[in-house]
Chain A
Amino acid sequence: MTLLAAEGVTLAYGTTAVVHDVSLTVDEGGVGLIGESGSGKTTLARALLGLLRPRSGVVRYGSRDLAGLGRAGRAEFRRAVQPVFQDGSEALDPRMTAGASIAEALTTHHRVPRDERRDRVAALLAGVGLDPALAGRRPHEMSGGQRQRVAIARALAVEPRLLVLDEPTSALDVTVQARILELLEGLAADRGLGYLLITHNLGVVGRLCRTSSVLFAGRVVESGPTADLLTRPAHPYTRALRDAVPRLGGEPPRTAGRTEAAPAPTGCPFRLRCPWAADRCRDEAPELRELAGRKVACHRAEEVLTTPASSVARVPRDGGEAPDAPRQ
C-alpha cells in the first residue's frame, strides 16, 4: 500500500528549481533515495514531510493531497510520518534529558499511563542499543552516536507508519550503524514500518531497500529494484556511484569522468561527467523510460547495461580528463 508519494513534484527556492518533476512512491518496506551532495535529495525529503510546498506536482499521504489536509489530517500526518536527520541533536531539546524527550513523544500522541512510561522509555532505548541509564542525560552529555540513537528512539516512540531518514547513520561508527540497520529491518518485518532512506551510502541502501531511485541534479535518472540497480546499473551515473564504492578486500574503487563538472544546463544534465556522452546527449534531454524492469533516463542505457565493468577506464590520467570510454 502506498503510504507517501510524490507525483511530478518540482521544488524551488526563489526562482531556482532544485528538484524537477520527480515521482516517487514509498510503501511498506524500504525505499531508497540515492544521491550526492547538491542532488536535491534533502529538499525532496522536506517536501515529503510537508515542510516545503511543491512549485508544481502533488505530495500524497495515502490518497490525500498533503497541501489539502485539514487540521486533524495534518496532526495525523505528523504522527504517522516521522523524520530522522543526520544530526540527532536537531531533534532533541538541549534542556531535556533523553528520557524526557522520548516520554514527551510517547505522551503527545498516545495515552500512556504514568507508571508505564519509564519502562517504555527503557525499552525504546534498549531497542536502539543504548543503556537505559542514559535516560537521565542531556544531549550535551552524550556522544554524537548516542544522540542519533536517542533521536531514532524518539521517532519510534510515536509508533509511526513511516520514517523519513536523511543520512541517519553516516555519523555513526560501523558497529552502531549495523545495529541501527538491524533494528530498522526488524521493525519493517514485524510492524510493517515503511521508510524512505535518503543516503549516498549504497551499501546501506542495498541492505535495507527493496526499491530505489537515483537522483542527479534534482532529477530521477534511474529507479527500480535496488538489487538490479546495484548489480546491473543502466544509467552511467548509477554505475559511477556503484564503481566508486570501495569493497572490502576488493580492487581499488574506480573513478570515471570528471566529478567536478557542474550539471549541464541543456541536454542531459550528466553529460559533462559521462564517459558515454554523445552528440545526441548534448542536443536532447533524455526522458525516463522503461528498460529491463526499471526506469532510466539515458539515451545509451542499453549499451551501459551490457558493457562489462572492466572495459571502462579506471582512473583519469593527469589533469583528470575523461577516461577513454566507448564513444558513438
Chain B
Amino acid sequence: MNLISVRDLVVRIGDRVIASVPELDVAAGECVAIVGESGSGKTTTLLSTLGLVHGADVAGRIRVGEVDVLTASPARLREIRGSRAALVVQSPQAALNPTMRLGTLMRRALARHGVKGARARERAEEAVRAVLLDPEILRRHPHQVSGGQAQRFVIALALALGAQVLLADEPTSALDVTVQAEVVAVLRRLRDERGLAVLLVSHDLALVSTIADRVVVMRDGAVVESGPAADVFARPRDPYTRELIAAVPRLPEPEEGS
C-alpha cells in the first residue's frame, strides 16, 4: 500500500519551476531516496508532501495515507504532521524545547493525543527502545544529549504518536560517521520491522545506496532518473547520475583478517 503518493507535482516561484516530479510513491516497508545537489529541488519535493512549502505555487496531487494534502483543511494537515507523518531534519536539537526534559516533551505530545499516565510512560519507553536508546534519556534535557541521540529521539517521538511515514531531510549529514551509521541502522530497522514508509532526502549517494529500495535523482528541479536503487547505482543511465556516482570518494576495500 502506498503511504505517500505524488502525481504531477510542480512547484513554482513566479515563472520559475523549482521542483517538478511526475510520479513518486512510497509504500509501507519501503525506503525511497531523493538524491541531488544544492538547488536540485529535493528538499522542496519532500516538504511539499507535508504541505510545508510556503511562498510558492504547488500544483498536482499529493496523498499521505488517506489525506489529500493540497486540498486538506489546516486542521487535517496539522493532524498528519503531528501523528501520521514525522519530519526528521538535519539539526533536530533546534526543534526541541530546551527547557523541558525529553520525557516531558514526549508526555505532552502523547497527552495531546489522549494517551496519559502509565500507558503514556510505557509507550514512551517502548518508542525510545525502538530507536536503540536507553529510556534513561527521557530524564535529560535537549542540551544534555548528542546530535545523534537527539535525532533518534525525534524519530522515537514520531513512533510514539503512531507515525507510519517518516520524511527525513539530510538526517545524518551533521553527524559523525559512527553516529551516522547508528541512525541509518535505526531507519532500516523501522522500515523492516515496523513497516514504516521512509522518504529520505540526501546528497550522500553511498549512504543512500545502503538503505534505499528505490532512488529518484534530481537536478535543477527535474527528475533525471529513477528506479530500483540497485539498478540505478549499478547501471546509471543518465550522464548526471554517472557524474554523481563517480564523484563519491572511494575507500579501499578492507582486507579480511591476516
Contacts and interface: CB of A to CB of B under 8 A. Distances in A.
Asked whether A and B interact, the reply is: yes
Interface of A: 36-37, 143-145, 173-178, 181, 200-204, 206-207, 227, 230-232, 240-255, 259-260, 306-310, 315-316, 318-320
A174 B250 contact: no
Contacts of A201: 177, 249
A181 to B, nearest CB: 7
A143 B38 CA distance: 9
Nearest to A177: B247
30 contacts: A36-B176, A144-B38, A174-B37, A175-B243, A200-B176, A201-B177, A203-B248, A203-B249, A206-B249, A206-B251, A206-B252, A227-B252, A232-B254, A245-B206, A246-B209, A247-B206, A248-B233, A251-B210, A252-B188, A253-B180, A253-B181, A253-B185, A254-B181, A255-B181, A260-B149, A307-B257, A309-B254, A315-B185, A316-B132, A320-B134
A174 B244 contact: yes
A249 B215 CA distance: 12
A232 B258 CA distance: 9
B175 to A, nearest CB: 9
Nearest to A307: B257
Contacts of B133: 320
Task: Classify chain B's interface size.
Answer: 35 or more
Contacts of A202: 177, 251
Contact of B209 (A145, A206, A232, A248): A248
Nearest to B130: A318
Interface of B: 37-38, 129, 132-134, 146, 148-149, 176-182, 184-185, 188, 203-207, 209-211, 230, 233-234, 243-258
Given A145-B38, A206-B252, A316-B182, 7 more contacts: A174-B247, A201-B177, A244-B177, A248-B206, A250-B209, A308-B257, A315-B185
A173 B255 CA distance: 30
B132 A318 contact: yes
B210 A244 contact: no
B255 A231 contact: yes
A206 B250 contact: yes
A115 B254 CA distance: 53
Contacts of B211: 252
B209 A255 contact: no
Given A174-B205, A318-B132, A246 B210 contact: yes
A320 B178 CA distance: 13
A252 B254 contact: no
Nearest to B180: A244
Contact of B203 (A173, A254, A255, A309): A173
A-B pairs, top 8 by smallest CB distance, nearest first, are: A203-B249, A173-B37, A178-B247, A36-B176, A253-B181, A308-B257, A244-B181, A174-B247
Contacts of B184: 246, 252-253
Contacts of B181: 243-244, 246, 252-255
B176 A248 contact: no
A309 B254 CA distance: 8
B233 A249 contact: yes
A65 B239 CA distance: 52
Contact of B250 (A177, A203, A315, A316): A203
A173 B132 CA distance: 31
B182 A255 contact: yes
A246 B188 CA distance: 14
A85 B205 CA distance: 24
A133 B180 CA distance: 38
